[in-house]
């Protein structure tokens, strides 16, 4: 095979995996026009179309799917071997890509990275804040951070935070107009701030728990958001009751800006876990990151 075909195949894999010339060009560090020319040249040499292009998306043809299934794993094997060679270096180095929610990134990852990165200047960490449950292998992330029960069973999971507690809260201005709820059933008489789950597209049912009793409550209100920061701001503004992580609202409760209700129904969930494929060959840099993040009670 001609040497240039190796680069062209890598370019094809990037476009097929990203489903976009724009995203693939950014990933490869080339211009979109240069990438388009590379793909066209590859298709001309092979004599077959590999990608179907529309105004909104790019997807592999049947031939492209076959090539992707065959070639992509080989390139991943080469990358794995190159990572293994980096272990011979005296200093840990390399880029680690992590996907995590905004809350996990700011409260768990950043405090530890502030200590780790200055000690190892050759390590780079890329954090993508995303609340969706994505396939980290398909999206080419080294690891993800999610609550314990959301971690796939075929992944290695390392606990990186204590358990987390959820609270129902409202502002004094809101409760000036409505009596606080005494039972979960009372929530039907309240304006509640709904959270739309990015992965499923549906609204999150508030998971309440008292002893062994568990209730998933479908709440209603005038406002729907897709992130906890927006829910917090809405609750502070008196637009309704919010259901949020305790550490997000703790300072506001202490200051009297928010009031907790239904505390005996406040559930506790498994804390954040760093997860990654069991077949992943850990580099020294990745191993250092795991140990830095590992939660020690």
Q: Could you confirm whether domain 3-86 is CATH 3.30.1490.20?
A: no
* Local confidence band at 281 (pLDDT 50, 70, 90 cut-offs): low
Fold for domain 164-269?
D-Maltodextrin-Binding Protein; domain 2 (3.40.190)
E strands, the chain, where? 51-53, 58-60, 94-100, 123-129, 143-147, 155-159, 164-170, 194-195, 206-210, 213-217, 224-225, 242-245, 259-261, 268-269, 272-277
The answer on pLDDT for 1 being more than 50 is no
* Burial class of residue 241 in the structure, from the number of CB atoms within 10 Å of its CB (0-12 exposed, 13-18 middle, 19+ buried): buried
pLDDT score, position 130? 78
Give helix 21-28 / helix 3-18 axis angle, nearest 10°: 130
Domains 3-86 and 94-163+271-293 share a fold: no
pLDDT score, position 45? 87
pLDDT score, position 280? 62
Q: What is the pLDDT of residues 174-228, one digit of tens each?
A: 999 999 999 999 999 999 999 987 766 689 999 999 999 999 999 999 999 988 8
Claim: this prediction has a pTM higher than 0.75: no
Q: What is the pLDDT of residues 234-261, one digit of tens each?
A: 999 999 999 999 999 999 999 999 999 9
pLDDT score, position 228? 87
Tell me the sheet residues that pair with 97. Answer: 126
Break the chain into its structural domains and give their ranges. Answer: 3-86, 94-163+271-293, 164-269
Largest interatomic CA distance in the chain: 75
pLDDT score, position 149? 67
CATH superfamily membership of 94-163+271-293: Periplasmic binding protein-like II (3.40.190.10)
The answer on pLDDT for 122 being more than 80 is yes
Q: What is the pLDDT of residues 45-97, one digit of tens each?
A: 888 999 998 877 889 999 989 988 888 888 888 777 776 666 556 578 889 99
């Amino acid at each position: 095979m001609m040497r240039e075909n190796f680069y062209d195949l890598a370019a094809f894999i990037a476009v097929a995996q990203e489903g976009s010339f724009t995203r693939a060009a950014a990933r490869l560090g080339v211009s979109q026009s240069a990438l388009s020319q590379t793909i066209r040249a590859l298709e001309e040499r092979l004599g077959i179309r590999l990608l179907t292009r529309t105004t909104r998306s790019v997807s592999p043809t049947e031939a492209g799917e076959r090539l992707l299934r065959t070639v992509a794993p080989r390139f991943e094997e080469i990358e794995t071997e190159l990572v293994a060679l980096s272990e011979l270096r005296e200093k840990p180095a390399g880029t680690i890509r992590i996907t995590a929610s905004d809350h996990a990134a700011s409260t768990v990852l950043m405090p530890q990275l502030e200590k780790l990165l200055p000690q190892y200047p050759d390590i780079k960490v890329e954090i993508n804040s995303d609340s969706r449950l994505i396939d980290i292998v398909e999206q080419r992330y080294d690891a993800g951070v999610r609550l314990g029960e959301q971690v796939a069973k075929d992944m290695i999971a390392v606990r990186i935070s204590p358990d987390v507690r959820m609270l129902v809260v409202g502002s004094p201005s809101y409760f000036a107009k409505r009596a606080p709820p005494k039972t979960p059933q009372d929530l039907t008489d309240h304006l509640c701030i709904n959270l739309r789950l990015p992965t499923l597209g549906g609204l999150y049912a508030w998971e309440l728990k008292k002893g062994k009793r568990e209730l998933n409550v479908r709440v209603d209100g005038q406002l729907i958001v897709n992130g906890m920061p927006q829910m917090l701001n809405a609750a502070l503004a008196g637009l309704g009751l919010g259901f949020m992580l305790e550490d997000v609202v703790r300072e506001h409760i202490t200051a009297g800006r928010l009031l907790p209700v239904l505390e005996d129904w406040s559930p506790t969930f498994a804390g954040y876990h760093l997860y990654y494929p069991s077949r992943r060959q850990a580099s020294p840099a990745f191993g250092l990151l795991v140990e830095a993040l590992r939660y020690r009670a």
